[in-house]
């Protein structure tokens, strides 16, 4: 998605948010997610102004057409980033 960004959650270790095509990186301590299994949503509330929402429904990248496991939304004080994601392992 534009502008280029990525999110990497390393279970038990860190949540990394990379924006501006790799120029800006913010590493956050891992926080336990809040899960709503009925709604198929997982939220990582990193701090007062930063959260990650992962939804459990198919998602297709609007630029490439590639299919992913689910929509991902990263919300910060400065911006809201929307895209698709999948588990890396």
pLDDT of 89 > 80? The answer is: no
Under 8 Å CB-to-CB from 36, ≥6 apart: which residues?
A: 42, 43
| pLDDT tens digits along 24-65 | 999 999 999 999 999 999 999 999 999 999 999 999 988 888
**Chain-wide mean pLDDT for the chain?**
93
C-alpha angle 56-61-66 in degrees, rounded to nearest 5: 95
Q: What distance in Å separates the CA atoms of residue 38 and residue 16, rounded to the nearest whole number?
A: 27
């Amino acid at each position: 998605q534009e502008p280029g960004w990525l999110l990497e959650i390393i279970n038990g270790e860190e949540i990394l948010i990379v924006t501006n095509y790799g120029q800006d990186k913010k590493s956050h301590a891992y926080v336990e997610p809040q899960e709503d299994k009925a709604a198929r949503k997982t939220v990582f509330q990193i701090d007062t102004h930063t959260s990650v929402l992962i939804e459990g429904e198919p998602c297709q990248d609007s630029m490439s057409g590639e299919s992913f496991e689910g929509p991902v939304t990263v919300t910060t004080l400065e911006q809201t980033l929307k895209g698709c994601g999948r588990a890396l392992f």
